[in-house]
Amino acid sequence: MVLVSKLVKTIAYERYGNTDVMKIIDIPIPKPDTGQILVNVHAAALNPKDYLVRKGLFKWLTRGGFPKIPGLDFAGTIAEVGPNVELSVGTPIYGSLNEISTKRGTLTEFLLIDQTECAPKPNALSFVEAAAIPLAGQTALQALQDLIHLKSGQKILILGASGGVGVYAIQIAKAMGAHVTTTSSEGNKDFCKSLGADIALDYRVDNPFAQQDRYDAIFDAFGNQSFSKAEKSLKPEGVYVNTVPSLRILWDYVRTLFSGKRAKMVLVRSNTEDLNELAAMVETGTLKPVIDSVYEFDNYREAFKRIESRHARGKVVVKVSEQGLQHF
């Protein structure tokens, strides 16, 4: 294949700030090295990290200068492969970046990834639907499977269950045979039940830690609670997992290392095995993408405003480039 256009549209920013610091720029198409894949990105989903980094909240973590490119989730088609890559050109894939510097971001027409950051896209899903799963789905999977070791028949409380991470946590917990209690606003209680919640609480009215129930696990998907508050609602060997890195959760993790009740924090790591597992769940019908809204590329600021409202129901997705490899 011969490239007829070497510059591609990318959303980027040169300083920290609100949505207006972002603009569309042209960047050169990168070349894949050993183990790398060049993806023609068709759709990218947004995650809170995209705007938290842009606002400068993770400066200590995201060194590496500007421009920074937002976006971690992608679905697209393989355009070119480097040496030692098993997947071939033309394969539809999905995944998310293990990116800290955000020098790479998925809101670009052509993206360089490591082959371990992707897997073949579930056949049943469109690119927009597939882009809605990787980061949030893997966060939920890794929390429930690797940190909580959730078992059939156990009771789990999922806090902030109608958000990007929560909608997958509900479905994965049900697929694992758990009894699921959720929190969301009143307007999203039926929505949580439609995804599989057995009991849906309203966080504005019901104190989830004042219920009679004791849980084997509490997954704080929204991340605004703490182990100290949750502790009394856990069973003696119960596990509390938070999604937001903080000194408090690190300290709780250390001080409960040898306790019955444990505090943990999930730090998602994109990998082919987990993406394949999520794809298999999609194929068997136990997991479905949950999309709050879809935006055209040029309308990206509206997409950011929606996720920054903190009230998206599932994922916010941006269409990046049309399927059809128009650059080739």
β pairing state of 215-220 and 234-242: parallel
At residue 222's C-alpha, the angle toward residues 216 and 223, to 5°, is 75
Instruction: Give the range of 150-158, 228-236, 263-271, 273-281 binding ligand NAP by CB under 6 A.
Output: 263-271
Minimal distance in Å, beta carbon 52 to ligand NAP?
6
Minimal distance in Å, beta carbon 77 to ligand NAP?
25
Here the tokens at position 180 are 């699921």
Residue 165 is a binding residue for ligand NAP (CB under 6 A):
yes
Q: How far apart are CA 219 and CA 223, in angstroms?
A: 9
Which is closer to ligand NAP, CB of 52 or CB of 87?
A: 52
Residue 267 is a binding residue for ligand NAP (CB under 6 A):
yes
Residue 160 is a binding residue for ligand NAP (CB under 6 A):
yes
Task: Looking at residues 199 to 228 of the shown chain, list those that interact with ligand NAP (rule: CB under 6 A).
Answer: 203, 221-224
CA nearest neighbour of 276 among 268, 265, 284: 284
Residue 48 is a binding residue for ligand NAP (CB under 6 A):
yes
Q: How far apart are CA 198 and CA 202, in angstroms?
A: 14
Q: How far apart are CA 232 and CA 312, in angstroms?
A: 30
Which is closer to ligand NAP, CB of 110 or CB of 203?
A: 203
E-strand ranges in 197-242 read 199-202, 215-220, 234-242
Asked if residue 21 lies in contact with residue 54, where contact means CB atoms within 8 angstroms, the answer is yes
Residue 241 is a binding residue for ligand NAP (CB under 6 A):
no
Q: How far is CA 325 from the centre of its chain?
A: 26
Instruction: Give the range of 33-41, 182-190, 205-213, 229-237 binding ligand NAP by CB under 6 A.
Output: 182-190
Task: Looking at residues 80 to 109 of the shown chain, list those that interact with ligand NAP (rule: CB under 6 A).
Answer: none
Which is closer to ligand NAP, CB of 48 or CB of 105?
A: 48
Q: How far apart are CA 55 and CA 73, in angstroms?
A: 19
Q: How far apart are CA 204 and CA 5, in angstroms?
A: 52
Please report, as ranges, the residues that interact with ligand NAP according to CB under 6 A: 47-49, 135-136, 139, 159-160, 162-166, 183-185, 188, 203, 221-224, 243-244, 266-268, 307, 310-313
